[in-house]
Structure 1
Amino acid sequence: MAKIILNRENLFHNLNLISKQAKGIEKVAIVLKDNAYGHGLLEIAKLASEYGIKKAVVRTHEEALKINNFFEDVLILADVENSTYSHTFHIAVNSLEQIKKLPINTKVHLKIDSGMHRNGINKKQLKEAIIGICEQNLKFTGLFTHYRCADELSTDFYWQRSNFEQIKQEVKSTCEKLSIPTPKFHSANSSALFRVKDFDEDFARVGIATYGYLETDTIFNNPKLKPVMSFWAQKISTREIKKGQRIGYGGSYFAKKDMTVSTYDVGYGDGFLRLNEKHKYITPKGYKILGRVSMDNLSINSQDEEVCIFDDVRQLAKIHDTITYEIITTLNPNIKKEII
Protein backbone atom coordinates (compact mmCIF):
# COMPACT_ATOMS: atom_id res chain seq x y z
CA MET A 1 0.00 0.00 0.00
CA ALA A 2 1.28 3.47 -0.91
CA LYS A 3 2.29 5.59 2.08
CA ILE A 4 3.65 8.96 3.11
CA ILE A 5 6.46 9.01 5.67
CA LEU A 6 6.79 12.14 7.80
CA ASN A 7 10.19 12.92 9.29
CA ARG A 8 9.80 14.40 12.79
CA GLU A 9 13.46 15.45 12.97
CA ASN A 10 13.22 17.40 9.71
CA LEU A 11 10.00 19.09 10.81
CA PHE A 12 11.54 20.18 14.10
CA HIS A 13 14.67 21.37 12.26
CA ASN A 14 12.48 23.62 10.11
CA LEU A 15 10.51 24.88 13.10
CA ASN A 16 13.78 25.72 14.86
CA LEU A 17 14.86 27.92 11.94
CA ILE A 18 11.41 29.50 11.70
CA SER A 19 11.18 30.23 15.44
CA LYS A 20 14.63 31.79 15.43
CA GLN A 21 13.74 34.06 12.51
CA ALA A 22 10.42 35.03 14.11
CA LYS A 23 12.18 35.74 17.43
CA GLY A 24 10.27 33.20 19.45
CA ILE A 25 8.13 30.10 19.16
CA GLU A 26 5.15 32.13 20.40
CA LYS A 27 5.38 34.21 17.21
CA VAL A 28 4.86 31.23 14.90
CA ALA A 29 1.43 30.26 13.55
CA ILE A 30 1.68 27.03 11.62
CA VAL A 31 -0.46 26.86 8.48
CA LEU A 32 -2.34 23.56 8.36
CA LYS A 33 -4.86 24.30 5.62
CA ASP A 34 -5.55 21.79 2.85
CA ASN A 35 -4.55 18.75 4.89
CA ALA A 36 -1.38 20.45 6.12
CA TYR A 37 -0.19 20.96 2.54
CA GLY A 38 -0.80 17.27 1.87
CA HIS A 39 1.15 16.05 4.90
CA GLY A 40 -1.84 15.11 7.06
CA LEU A 41 -3.80 17.57 9.19
CA LEU A 42 -3.87 15.59 12.43
CA GLU A 43 -0.36 14.22 12.07
CA ILE A 44 1.28 17.63 11.63
CA ALA A 45 -0.99 19.25 14.25
CA LYS A 46 0.14 16.70 16.85
CA LEU A 47 3.81 17.14 15.97
CA ALA A 48 3.55 20.95 15.99
CA SER A 49 1.85 20.84 19.37
CA GLU A 50 4.57 18.50 20.64
CA TYR A 51 7.15 21.04 19.47
CA GLY A 52 5.34 23.80 21.35
CA ILE A 53 3.49 25.73 18.65
CA LYS A 54 0.38 27.42 20.10
CA LYS A 55 -1.16 29.01 16.98
CA ALA A 56 -2.50 27.42 13.81
CA VAL A 57 -4.10 28.57 10.57
CA VAL A 58 -6.66 26.49 8.68
CA ARG A 59 -9.02 26.93 5.77
CA THR A 60 -12.37 25.81 7.20
CA HIS A 61 -14.42 25.35 10.35
CA GLU A 62 -14.27 21.59 9.79
CA GLU A 63 -10.46 21.61 9.83
CA ALA A 64 -10.46 23.80 12.94
CA LEU A 65 -12.68 21.38 14.85
CA LYS A 66 -10.29 18.51 14.17
CA ILE A 67 -7.27 20.31 15.66
CA ASN A 68 -9.02 22.40 18.31
CA ASN A 69 -7.41 20.55 21.24
CA PHE A 70 -3.85 21.07 20.03
CA PHE A 71 -3.68 24.89 19.92
CA GLU A 72 -4.64 27.96 21.92
CA ASP A 73 -5.60 29.99 18.83
CA VAL A 74 -6.84 28.81 15.43
CA LEU A 75 -7.38 31.28 12.58
CA ILE A 76 -9.98 30.13 10.03
CA LEU A 77 -9.32 31.73 6.64
CA ALA A 78 -12.31 30.74 4.52
CA ASP A 79 -15.27 29.83 6.68
CA VAL A 80 -18.80 30.12 5.30
CA GLU A 81 -20.73 28.82 8.30
CA ASN A 82 -22.38 31.08 10.85
CA SER A 83 -22.50 28.74 13.81
CA THR A 84 -21.13 29.33 17.29
CA TYR A 85 -17.40 28.84 17.41
CA SER A 86 -14.94 27.56 20.00
CA HIS A 87 -13.27 30.24 22.10
CA THR A 88 -9.99 29.29 20.41
CA PHE A 89 -11.30 30.12 16.92
CA HIS A 90 -10.70 33.41 15.11
CA ILE A 91 -12.55 34.07 11.85
CA ALA A 92 -10.96 35.89 8.92
CA VAL A 93 -13.25 38.68 7.70
CA ASN A 94 -12.91 39.74 4.07
CA SER A 95 -15.89 42.07 3.61
CA LEU A 96 -18.26 44.42 5.42
CA GLU A 97 -21.14 42.05 4.60
CA GLN A 98 -19.46 39.18 6.40
CA ILE A 99 -19.31 41.17 9.64
CA LYS A 100 -23.11 41.30 9.78
CA LYS A 101 -23.45 37.51 9.49
CA LEU A 102 -21.22 36.41 12.38
CA PRO A 103 -22.55 35.38 15.81
CA ILE A 104 -22.09 37.64 18.83
CA ASN A 105 -18.71 37.31 20.57
CA THR A 106 -17.02 35.73 17.55
CA LYS A 107 -13.32 36.56 17.47
CA VAL A 108 -12.41 38.11 14.13
CA HIS A 109 -9.24 38.91 12.23
CA LEU A 110 -9.97 41.65 9.73
CA LYS A 111 -8.16 41.18 6.42
CA ILE A 112 -7.05 44.34 4.67
CA ASP A 113 -6.15 44.57 0.99
CA SER A 114 -2.75 46.25 1.00
CA GLY A 115 -2.15 45.76 -2.71
CA MET A 116 -2.70 42.15 -3.74
CA HIS A 117 -6.31 42.90 -4.76
CA ARG A 118 -7.59 39.41 -4.05
CA ASN A 119 -9.31 39.29 -0.65
CA GLY A 120 -9.88 41.76 2.17
CA ILE A 121 -11.51 45.14 2.66
CA ASN A 122 -9.93 48.25 1.20
CA LYS A 123 -8.34 50.95 3.29
CA LYS A 124 -11.28 53.34 2.88
CA GLN A 125 -13.58 50.79 4.57
CA LEU A 126 -11.31 50.28 7.57
CA LYS A 127 -13.01 52.56 10.09
CA GLU A 128 -16.47 51.39 9.02
CA ALA A 129 -15.38 47.78 9.46
CA ILE A 130 -14.03 48.32 12.96
CA ILE A 131 -17.17 50.19 14.03
CA GLY A 132 -19.26 47.39 12.51
CA ILE A 133 -17.33 44.82 14.51
CA CYS A 134 -18.09 46.74 17.69
CA GLU A 135 -21.77 47.21 16.84
CA GLN A 136 -22.17 43.48 16.14
CA ASN A 137 -20.56 42.71 19.52
CA LEU A 138 -17.70 40.84 17.88
CA LYS A 139 -14.19 40.66 19.29
CA PHE A 140 -11.55 42.39 17.14
CA THR A 141 -8.54 40.15 17.79
CA GLY A 142 -6.46 40.51 14.64
CA LEU A 143 -5.66 42.55 11.54
CA PHE A 144 -3.73 41.01 8.66
CA THR A 145 -2.79 41.21 5.01
CA HIS A 146 -1.08 39.04 2.39
CA TYR A 147 1.82 39.89 0.07
CA ARG A 148 1.65 39.33 -3.64
CA CYS A 149 5.42 39.30 -4.32
CA ALA A 150 7.17 38.29 -1.12
CA ASP A 151 8.92 35.50 -3.00
CA GLU A 152 10.23 37.68 -5.84
CA LEU A 153 13.00 40.25 -6.18
CA SER A 154 10.60 43.15 -6.49
CA THR A 155 9.88 46.49 -4.84
CA ASP A 156 6.22 45.41 -4.54
CA PHE A 157 6.99 43.68 -1.27
CA TYR A 158 8.31 46.86 0.36
CA TRP A 159 5.48 48.92 -1.11
CA GLN A 160 2.89 46.61 0.48
CA ARG A 161 4.78 46.56 3.79
CA SER A 162 4.70 50.35 3.81
CA ASN A 163 0.97 50.31 3.09
CA PHE A 164 0.35 47.90 5.94
CA GLU A 165 2.45 49.95 8.35
CA GLN A 166 0.27 52.97 7.62
CA ILE A 167 -2.87 50.89 8.07
CA LYS A 168 -1.64 49.57 11.42
CA GLN A 169 -1.16 53.09 12.71
CA GLU A 170 -4.68 54.01 11.63
CA VAL A 171 -6.06 50.92 13.37
CA LYS A 172 -4.23 51.74 16.59
CA SER A 173 -5.65 55.28 16.51
CA THR A 174 -9.19 54.07 15.78
CA CYS A 175 -9.06 51.46 18.55
CA GLU A 176 -7.85 54.06 21.02
CA LYS A 177 -10.74 56.37 20.13
CA LEU A 178 -13.24 53.51 20.51
CA SER A 179 -11.61 52.34 23.76
CA ILE A 180 -11.13 48.79 22.50
CA PRO A 181 -7.96 46.64 22.66
CA THR A 182 -5.50 46.84 19.78
CA PRO A 183 -5.61 43.64 17.69
CA LYS A 184 -2.70 41.38 16.85
CA PHE A 185 -0.96 42.33 13.60
CA HIS A 186 0.36 39.78 11.12
CA SER A 187 1.36 39.88 7.47
CA ALA A 188 4.32 37.57 6.93
CA ASN A 189 4.04 34.25 5.17
CA SER A 190 7.08 31.96 4.81
CA SER A 191 8.80 34.03 2.13
CA ALA A 192 8.10 37.35 3.84
CA LEU A 193 9.38 36.09 7.19
CA PHE A 194 12.76 35.24 5.72
CA ARG A 195 12.90 38.44 3.64
CA VAL A 196 13.04 40.73 6.67
CA LYS A 197 16.05 41.03 8.94
CA ASP A 198 14.21 42.32 11.99
CA PHE A 199 10.79 40.70 12.29
CA ASP A 200 8.61 42.87 14.53
CA GLU A 201 4.96 41.77 14.13
CA ASP A 202 2.88 39.78 16.60
CA PHE A 203 3.28 36.54 14.65
CA ALA A 204 3.95 35.06 11.21
CA ARG A 205 1.78 32.60 9.28
CA VAL A 206 4.26 29.96 8.17
CA GLY A 207 3.17 27.33 5.67
CA ILE A 208 5.51 25.98 2.99
CA ALA A 209 8.71 26.57 5.00
CA THR A 210 7.35 24.33 7.73
CA TYR A 211 7.31 21.46 5.26
CA GLY A 212 10.82 22.04 3.96
CA TYR A 213 10.46 24.32 0.96
CA LEU A 214 10.66 28.00 0.15
CA GLU A 215 9.63 29.44 -3.21
CA THR A 216 11.66 32.63 -2.74
CA ASP A 217 14.14 33.68 -5.45
CA THR A 218 17.52 32.06 -4.92
CA ILE A 219 19.19 35.48 -4.77
CA PHE A 220 17.94 35.72 -1.19
CA ASN A 221 19.80 34.08 1.66
CA ASN A 222 17.30 31.28 2.15
CA PRO A 223 17.51 28.96 5.16
CA LYS A 224 18.53 25.32 4.71
CA LEU A 225 15.16 23.69 5.20
CA LYS A 226 14.59 19.94 5.05
CA PRO A 227 11.61 18.29 3.30
CA VAL A 228 9.36 16.58 5.82
CA MET A 229 7.55 14.22 3.43
CA SER A 230 8.67 11.21 1.45
CA PHE A 231 6.27 9.24 -0.74
CA TRP A 232 6.53 5.45 -1.05
CA ALA A 233 4.97 2.84 -3.34
CA GLN A 234 4.58 -0.91 -2.84
CA LYS A 235 5.24 -3.51 -5.52
CA ILE A 236 2.27 -5.16 -7.23
CA SER A 237 4.03 -7.47 -9.67
CA THR A 238 7.30 -8.08 -11.56
CA ARG A 239 7.85 -9.14 -15.17
CA GLU A 240 10.64 -9.63 -17.68
CA ILE A 241 10.56 -7.26 -20.63
CA LYS A 242 12.34 -8.22 -23.84
CA LYS A 243 14.28 -5.81 -26.03
CA GLY A 244 11.87 -4.04 -28.37
CA GLN A 245 8.78 -4.48 -26.20
CA ARG A 246 6.80 -1.44 -25.10
CA ILE A 247 5.35 -0.60 -21.68
CA GLY A 248 2.07 1.01 -20.63
CA TYR A 249 -0.56 3.16 -22.34
CA GLY A 250 0.42 4.10 -25.86
CA GLY A 251 3.46 1.87 -25.59
CA SER A 252 5.39 5.03 -24.91
CA TYR A 253 8.40 3.34 -23.29
CA PHE A 254 10.52 1.28 -25.71
CA ALA A 255 12.87 -1.26 -24.12
CA LYS A 256 16.34 -0.96 -25.63
CA LYS A 257 17.44 -4.18 -23.94
CA ASP A 258 16.08 -7.08 -21.92
CA MET A 259 15.11 -5.81 -18.48
CA THR A 260 13.20 -6.53 -15.29
CA VAL A 261 10.29 -4.20 -14.57
CA SER A 262 7.89 -3.99 -11.62
CA THR A 263 4.52 -2.28 -11.28
CA TYR A 264 3.88 -0.21 -8.13
CA ASP A 265 0.66 0.95 -6.51
CA VAL A 266 0.93 4.70 -7.17
CA GLY A 267 -0.76 6.63 -9.95
CA TYR A 268 -2.38 9.93 -10.77
CA GLY A 269 -5.45 8.77 -8.83
CA ASP A 270 -3.24 9.13 -5.75
CA GLY A 271 -2.27 12.63 -6.83
CA PHE A 272 1.06 11.70 -8.39
CA LEU A 273 0.69 13.84 -11.50
CA ARG A 274 0.87 12.13 -14.88
CA LEU A 275 4.30 12.53 -16.45
CA ASN A 276 4.16 13.79 -20.04
CA GLU A 277 7.12 11.73 -21.30
CA LYS A 278 9.02 14.82 -22.41
CA HIS A 279 10.92 14.75 -19.13
CA LYS A 280 12.42 11.70 -17.48
CA TYR A 281 11.93 11.21 -13.78
CA ILE A 282 14.39 9.30 -11.61
CA THR A 283 13.59 8.24 -8.03
CA PRO A 284 15.92 9.05 -5.12
CA LYS A 285 17.48 5.57 -5.41
CA GLY A 286 18.15 6.03 -9.12
CA TYR A 287 15.26 4.05 -10.63
CA LYS A 288 13.36 5.31 -13.67
CA ILE A 289 9.60 5.65 -14.06
CA LEU A 290 8.95 3.97 -17.40
CA GLY A 291 6.27 5.18 -19.78
CA ARG A 292 3.04 6.83 -18.77
CA VAL A 293 1.81 6.97 -15.21
CA SER A 294 -1.56 5.19 -14.99
CA MET A 295 -4.46 6.08 -12.68
CA ASP A 296 -3.51 3.51 -10.04
CA ASN A 297 -0.01 2.29 -10.86
CA LEU A 298 3.27 2.98 -12.59
CA SER A 299 6.22 0.94 -13.88
CA ILE A 300 9.78 1.15 -12.57
CA ASN A 301 13.00 -0.71 -13.43
CA SER A 302 13.19 -2.17 -9.92
CA GLN A 303 12.40 -5.35 -8.01
CA ASP A 304 12.33 -3.71 -4.56
CA GLU A 305 9.25 -4.41 -2.47
CA GLU A 306 8.97 -0.69 -1.71
CA VAL A 307 10.30 2.27 -3.67
CA CYS A 308 10.63 5.87 -2.51
CA ILE A 309 8.98 7.85 -5.30
CA PHE A 310 10.21 11.18 -3.94
CA ASP A 311 11.73 12.71 -0.82
CA ASP A 312 12.06 16.19 -2.32
CA VAL A 313 9.46 17.50 -4.80
CA ARG A 314 11.47 20.31 -6.34
CA GLN A 315 12.51 18.17 -9.30
CA LEU A 316 8.89 17.19 -9.95
CA ALA A 317 7.80 20.83 -9.67
CA LYS A 318 10.25 21.73 -12.44
CA ILE A 319 9.08 18.84 -14.62
CA HIS A 320 5.45 19.90 -14.26
CA ASP A 321 6.27 23.61 -14.59
CA THR A 322 4.62 24.38 -11.28
CA ILE A 323 5.47 25.03 -7.63
CA THR A 324 6.18 22.66 -4.75
CA TYR A 325 2.82 23.58 -3.17
CA GLU A 326 0.87 22.03 -6.04
CA ILE A 327 2.81 18.75 -6.03
CA ILE A 328 2.27 18.05 -2.32
CA THR A 329 -1.28 19.37 -1.90
CA THR A 330 -2.46 17.27 -4.85
CA LEU A 331 -1.72 14.01 -3.02
CA ASN A 332 -4.78 11.99 -2.01
CA PRO A 333 -5.57 12.75 1.67
CA ASN A 334 -6.44 9.09 2.27
CA ILE A 335 -2.88 7.89 1.73
CA LYS A 336 -1.59 6.28 4.92
CA LYS A 337 0.84 8.39 6.98
CA GLU A 338 3.75 7.15 9.11
CA ILE A 339 5.91 9.26 11.42
CA ILE A 340 9.56 8.42 11.91
Structure 2
Amino acid sequence: MSVNTFEELKEAIEYGILPEKIQIKIDFGFGRNGITLDYLEELKKYIEKKNLSFNGIYSHLFAVCHSDGLKIIKKFEDVVNFLGKERFKMIHLQNSSAIEKYGSLDITTHIRVGMVIYGLQGDGFFDKNLRQVFSLRGQIAGIKNLESSDYIAYNLKSNLIVNNSKYIAKVKFGYGDGFLKVNENTKCLINNKEYNITLITMDNSFIEVDENVKEGDEIIFYPDISFSVPILNMNIYELLVIITSRVEKEIVDEIN
Protein backbone atom coordinates (compact mmCIF):
# COMPACT_ATOMS: atom_id res chain seq x y z
CA MET A 1 0.00 0.00 0.00
CA SER A 2 1.03 3.60 -0.54
CA VAL A 3 1.01 6.20 2.24
CA ASN A 4 0.61 9.83 1.28
CA THR A 5 0.84 11.66 4.62
CA PHE A 6 2.84 11.23 7.80
CA GLU A 7 -0.41 10.64 9.71
CA GLU A 8 -1.37 7.87 7.28
CA LEU A 9 1.95 6.17 7.91
CA LYS A 10 1.52 6.24 11.69
CA GLU A 11 -2.05 4.99 11.43
CA ALA A 12 -0.99 2.13 9.15
CA ILE A 13 1.80 1.02 11.50
CA GLU A 14 -0.45 1.31 14.58
CA TYR A 15 -3.11 -0.71 12.76
CA GLY A 16 -0.60 -3.52 12.34
CA ILE A 17 0.26 -3.21 8.66
CA LEU A 18 3.81 -4.41 8.16
CA PRO A 19 6.21 -1.73 6.90
CA GLU A 20 7.48 -4.32 4.39
CA LYS A 21 4.10 -3.91 2.67
CA ILE A 22 4.18 -0.10 2.62
CA GLN A 23 5.53 2.33 0.04
CA ILE A 24 6.14 5.94 1.07
CA LYS A 25 5.37 8.66 -1.45
CA ILE A 26 7.16 12.01 -1.29
CA ASP A 27 5.62 15.18 -2.74
CA PHE A 28 7.99 17.76 -4.24
CA GLY A 29 5.23 20.18 -5.20
CA PHE A 30 2.99 18.19 -7.51
CA GLY A 31 0.22 18.71 -4.97
CA ARG A 32 -1.63 15.47 -5.64
CA ASN A 33 -0.32 12.88 -3.17
CA GLY A 34 2.71 12.41 -0.97
CA ILE A 35 4.40 13.42 2.29
CA THR A 36 5.62 16.99 2.00
CA LEU A 37 9.18 17.98 2.84
CA ASP A 38 8.20 19.91 5.98
CA TYR A 39 7.52 16.52 7.64
CA LEU A 40 10.90 15.08 6.66
CA GLU A 41 12.68 15.53 10.02
CA GLU A 42 9.71 14.11 11.91
CA LEU A 43 9.49 11.20 9.46
CA LYS A 44 13.18 10.37 9.89
CA LYS A 45 12.92 10.35 13.70
CA TYR A 46 9.85 8.10 13.55
CA ILE A 47 11.52 5.63 11.18
CA GLU A 48 14.69 5.47 13.26
CA LYS A 49 12.83 5.17 16.59
CA LYS A 50 10.87 2.16 15.35
CA ASN A 51 13.71 0.88 13.13
CA LEU A 52 11.40 0.52 10.11
CA SER A 53 12.25 -0.84 6.69
CA PHE A 54 9.76 -0.43 3.85
CA ASN A 55 8.74 -2.04 0.60
CA GLY A 56 9.59 1.18 -1.19
CA ILE A 57 9.81 4.93 -1.55
CA TYR A 58 8.85 6.94 -4.62
CA SER A 59 7.76 10.24 -6.05
CA HIS A 60 6.41 11.67 -9.29
CA LEU A 61 8.66 13.48 -11.75
CA PHE A 62 6.05 15.95 -12.94
CA ALA A 63 8.17 18.82 -14.29
CA VAL A 64 8.12 19.36 -18.05
CA CYS A 65 11.11 21.70 -17.87
CA HIS A 66 14.33 19.67 -18.14
CA SER A 67 16.27 21.73 -15.58
CA ASP A 68 13.38 21.57 -13.06
CA GLY A 69 13.30 17.82 -13.53
CA LEU A 70 16.98 17.60 -12.68
CA LYS A 71 16.31 19.56 -9.47
CA ILE A 72 13.56 17.13 -8.46
CA ILE A 73 15.85 14.17 -9.16
CA LYS A 74 18.50 15.73 -6.89
CA LYS A 75 15.94 16.43 -4.15
CA PHE A 76 14.65 12.86 -4.35
CA GLU A 77 18.17 11.48 -4.08
CA ASP A 78 18.82 13.68 -1.02
CA VAL A 79 15.57 12.58 0.65
CA VAL A 80 16.23 8.87 0.08
CA ASN A 81 19.77 9.15 1.45
CA PHE A 82 18.57 11.27 4.39
CA LEU A 83 15.96 8.67 5.40
CA GLY A 84 18.37 5.79 4.72
CA LYS A 85 18.54 4.19 1.30
CA GLU A 86 19.04 0.78 2.88
CA ARG A 87 15.56 0.98 4.44
CA PHE A 88 13.78 0.74 1.08
CA LYS A 89 13.54 -2.36 -1.09
CA MET A 90 12.23 -0.41 -4.09
CA ILE A 91 13.16 3.14 -5.06
CA HIS A 92 11.40 4.56 -8.11
CA LEU A 93 10.82 7.96 -9.69
CA GLN A 94 10.80 7.76 -13.50
CA ASN A 95 7.60 7.54 -15.50
CA SER A 96 7.62 6.97 -19.28
CA SER A 97 8.64 10.49 -20.28
CA ALA A 98 11.28 10.69 -17.55
CA ILE A 99 12.91 7.53 -18.87
CA GLU A 100 13.08 9.17 -22.29
CA LYS A 101 14.43 12.44 -20.89
CA TYR A 102 16.84 11.33 -18.15
CA GLY A 103 17.55 7.63 -18.71
CA SER A 104 18.57 5.49 -15.74
CA LEU A 105 19.30 7.07 -12.36
CA ASP A 106 21.84 5.88 -9.79
CA ILE A 107 19.43 6.36 -6.89
CA THR A 108 16.56 4.27 -8.29
CA THR A 109 16.11 0.50 -8.31
CA HIS A 110 12.97 0.38 -10.48
CA ILE A 111 11.20 2.35 -13.20
CA ARG A 112 7.47 3.03 -13.40
CA VAL A 113 6.33 3.03 -17.00
CA GLY A 114 2.89 3.39 -18.52
CA MET A 115 2.64 4.55 -22.12
CA VAL A 116 5.99 3.06 -23.14
CA ILE A 117 4.69 -0.43 -22.33
CA TYR A 118 2.25 -0.01 -25.23
CA GLY A 119 4.86 1.55 -27.51
CA LEU A 120 2.90 4.82 -27.35
CA GLN A 121 4.01 8.40 -26.89
CA GLY A 122 2.58 10.70 -24.26
CA ASP A 123 2.67 14.47 -24.13
CA GLY A 124 6.11 15.99 -23.75
CA PHE A 125 8.36 13.46 -25.47
CA PHE A 126 8.90 11.79 -28.82
CA ASP A 127 10.99 8.76 -29.74
CA LYS A 128 11.05 7.79 -33.40
CA ASN A 129 12.15 4.27 -32.45
CA LEU A 130 9.01 3.47 -30.45
CA ARG A 131 6.68 1.04 -32.22
CA GLN A 132 3.02 0.72 -31.22
CA VAL A 133 2.24 -2.69 -29.72
CA PHE A 134 -1.15 -1.67 -28.32
CA SER A 135 -4.15 -2.85 -30.28
CA LEU A 136 -7.87 -3.28 -29.76
CA ARG A 137 -9.05 -6.39 -31.57
CA GLY A 138 -12.33 -8.16 -32.02
CA GLN A 139 -13.90 -10.87 -34.12
CA ILE A 140 -16.67 -10.60 -36.71
CA ALA A 141 -19.70 -12.11 -34.98
CA GLY A 142 -22.04 -12.00 -37.97
CA ILE A 143 -22.63 -10.50 -41.41
CA LYS A 144 -25.94 -9.19 -42.71
CA ASN A 145 -27.04 -8.32 -46.24
CA LEU A 146 -28.02 -4.65 -46.15
CA GLU A 147 -30.27 -5.01 -49.19
CA SER A 148 -32.71 -7.17 -47.23
CA SER A 149 -33.30 -4.72 -44.34
CA ASP A 150 -34.16 -1.08 -43.82
CA TYR A 151 -32.67 -1.08 -40.31
CA ILE A 152 -29.27 -1.46 -38.67
CA ALA A 153 -29.99 -2.14 -35.00
CA TYR A 154 -32.48 0.57 -33.88
CA ASN A 155 -31.52 2.90 -36.70
CA LEU A 156 -33.06 3.39 -40.10
CA LYS A 157 -30.46 2.63 -42.71
CA SER A 158 -31.47 5.80 -44.53
CA ASN A 159 -30.44 7.90 -41.49
CA LEU A 160 -26.90 6.49 -41.46
CA ILE A 161 -23.89 7.21 -43.61
CA VAL A 162 -23.64 4.02 -45.66
CA ASN A 163 -21.18 4.07 -48.52
CA ASN A 164 -23.04 1.81 -50.95
CA SER A 165 -21.85 -1.34 -49.20
CA LYS A 166 -23.85 -4.49 -49.67
CA TYR A 167 -22.95 -6.08 -46.32
CA ILE A 168 -22.74 -4.97 -42.69
CA ALA A 169 -20.60 -6.87 -40.17
CA LYS A 170 -21.09 -6.92 -36.40
CA VAL A 171 -18.53 -7.11 -33.58
CA LYS A 172 -19.74 -7.58 -30.01
CA PHE A 173 -18.61 -4.47 -28.17
CA GLY A 174 -19.71 -0.86 -28.19
CA TYR A 175 -19.92 2.31 -26.16
CA GLY A 176 -20.88 0.30 -23.06
CA ASP A 177 -17.35 -1.11 -23.25
CA GLY A 178 -15.70 2.27 -23.80
CA PHE A 179 -15.68 2.22 -27.61
CA LEU A 180 -17.49 5.54 -27.95
CA LYS A 181 -19.80 6.76 -30.68
CA VAL A 182 -17.19 9.34 -31.73
CA ASN A 183 -15.54 6.39 -33.49
CA GLU A 184 -18.41 6.23 -36.00
CA ASN A 185 -17.28 6.89 -39.59
CA THR A 186 -13.66 6.18 -38.73
CA LYS A 187 -11.69 3.25 -40.12
CA CYS A 188 -10.76 -0.21 -38.88
CA LEU A 189 -8.71 -3.02 -40.41
CA ILE A 190 -9.97 -6.43 -41.53
CA ASN A 191 -7.59 -8.65 -43.48
CA ASN A 192 -5.23 -5.66 -43.89
CA LYS A 193 -7.93 -3.59 -45.61
CA GLU A 194 -9.65 -0.48 -44.26
CA TYR A 195 -13.40 -0.55 -43.65
CA ASN A 196 -15.79 2.11 -42.37
CA ILE A 197 -17.31 1.90 -38.88
CA THR A 198 -20.93 2.85 -39.57
CA LEU A 199 -22.71 2.52 -36.22
CA ILE A 200 -21.80 1.95 -32.57
CA THR A 201 -24.48 0.84 -30.11
CA MET A 202 -24.18 -0.07 -26.44
CA ASP A 203 -22.68 -3.52 -26.98
CA ASN A 204 -22.34 -3.92 -30.74
CA SER A 205 -20.48 -2.09 -33.48
CA PHE A 206 -21.34 -2.33 -37.18
CA ILE A 207 -18.85 -2.11 -40.03
CA GLU A 208 -19.50 -1.79 -43.77
CA VAL A 209 -17.76 -4.70 -45.47
CA ASP A 210 -17.58 -6.50 -48.80
CA GLU A 211 -17.81 -10.14 -49.87
CA ASN A 212 -14.18 -10.75 -48.83
CA VAL A 213 -15.01 -10.47 -45.11
CA LYS A 214 -16.22 -13.62 -43.36
CA GLU A 215 -17.69 -14.40 -39.94
CA GLY A 216 -14.83 -15.09 -37.52
CA ASP A 217 -12.37 -12.73 -39.25
CA GLU A 218 -10.26 -10.57 -36.93
CA ILE A 219 -10.94 -6.85 -36.82
CA ILE A 220 -8.39 -4.29 -35.57
CA PHE A 221 -9.43 -0.91 -34.16
CA TYR A 222 -6.92 1.93 -33.72
CA PRO A 223 -4.28 0.32 -35.98
CA ASP A 224 -2.28 3.54 -35.58
CA ILE A 225 -3.50 5.36 -32.51
CA SER A 226 -1.46 8.48 -33.33
CA PHE A 227 -3.83 9.07 -36.28
CA SER A 228 -6.96 8.26 -34.26
CA VAL A 229 -6.36 10.73 -31.42
CA PRO A 230 -6.61 13.97 -33.48
CA ILE A 231 -9.53 12.61 -35.53
CA LEU A 232 -11.49 11.77 -32.39
CA ASN A 233 -10.32 14.93 -30.59
CA MET A 234 -9.49 12.86 -27.51
CA ASN A 235 -6.45 12.80 -25.26
CA ILE A 236 -4.53 9.55 -25.75
CA TYR A 237 -4.72 8.77 -22.01
CA GLU A 238 -8.50 9.26 -22.06
CA LEU A 239 -8.86 6.98 -25.06
CA LEU A 240 -6.85 4.17 -23.45
CA VAL A 241 -8.38 4.16 -19.98
CA ILE A 242 -11.99 4.45 -21.15
CA ILE A 243 -11.90 0.85 -22.47
CA THR A 244 -13.66 -1.11 -19.76
CA SER A 245 -12.59 -4.12 -17.74
CA ARG A 246 -15.05 -6.35 -19.64
CA VAL A 247 -13.08 -5.91 -22.86
CA GLU A 248 -9.75 -6.25 -21.05
CA LYS A 249 -10.91 -9.44 -19.31
CA GLU A 250 -11.95 -11.02 -22.59
CA ILE A 251 -8.54 -10.21 -24.07
CA VAL A 252 -6.71 -11.65 -21.05
CA ASP A 253 -8.86 -14.79 -21.07
CA GLU A 254 -8.10 -15.29 -24.75
CA ILE A 255 -4.36 -14.93 -24.12
CA ASN A 256 -4.50 -17.37 -21.21
TM range (shorter): 0.7 to 0.9
8 A Cα contact 1:288 1:300, kept in partner:
yes
SS in 2 for 1:215: coil
SS in 2 for 1:261: strand
Equivalent of 1:181 in 86, 91, 107 = 86
SS in 1 for 2:2: strand
Aligned to 1:317: 229
8 A Cα contact 1:283 1:309, kept in partner:
yes
SS in 2 for 1:116: coil
Aligned to 1:76: none
Aligned to 2:102: 196
8 A Cα contact 2:183 2:197, kept in partner:
no
- TM-score normalized by structure 1? 0.59
SS in 1 for 2:144: strand
Offset at residue 167 of structure 1 (A): 4.0
Equivalent of 2:160 in 253, 256, 275 = 253
Aligned to 1:113: 27
Of structures 1 and 2, the one with the larger relative CO (CA 8 A, separation 6+) is 1
Equivalent of 2:68 in 159, 180, 204 = 159
Computing the radius of gyration from Cα coordinates, the structure with the larger value is: 2
Offset at residue 194 of structure 1 (A): 1.1
Equivalent of 1:234 in 116, 140, 146 = 140
Aligned to 1:308: 219
SS in 1 for 2:176: helix
Q: C-alpha distance in 1, partners of 2:134/2:91?
A: 29
Structure having the larger proportion of residues in helix: 2
Offset at residue 250 of structure 1 (A): 5.3
Q: CA RMSD, aligned part only?
A: 3.1
1:270 and 2:177 are equivalent in the alignment: yes
CA 1:247–1:211: 2 relative to 1, 3 Å: same
Q: C-alpha distance in 2, partners of 1:299/1:167?
A: 51
CA 1:255–1:144: 2 relative to 1, 3 Å: closer
Aligned to 1:290: 198
Q: C-alpha distance in 2, partners of 1:136/1:101?
A: 14
Aligned to 1:326: 238
Offset at residue 129 of structure 1 (A): 2.2
Aligned to 2:130: 224
Structure 1, unmatched stretches of 5+, are: 1-90
SS in 2 for 1:112: strand
1:159-217: CA deviations, max 9, x gaps? 14313412422442343xxxx83534321011110112554332211222112212144
Structure 2, unmatched stretches of 5+, are: none
Q: C-alpha distance in 1, partners of 2:83/2:161?
A: 70
Equivalent of 2:186 in 281, 289, 293 = 281
Q: Which amino acid aligns with 1:335?
A: E
1:122 and 2:28 are equivalent in the alignment: no
CA 1:238–1:301: 2 relative to 1, 3 Å: same
Offset at residue 117 of structure 1 (A): 1.1
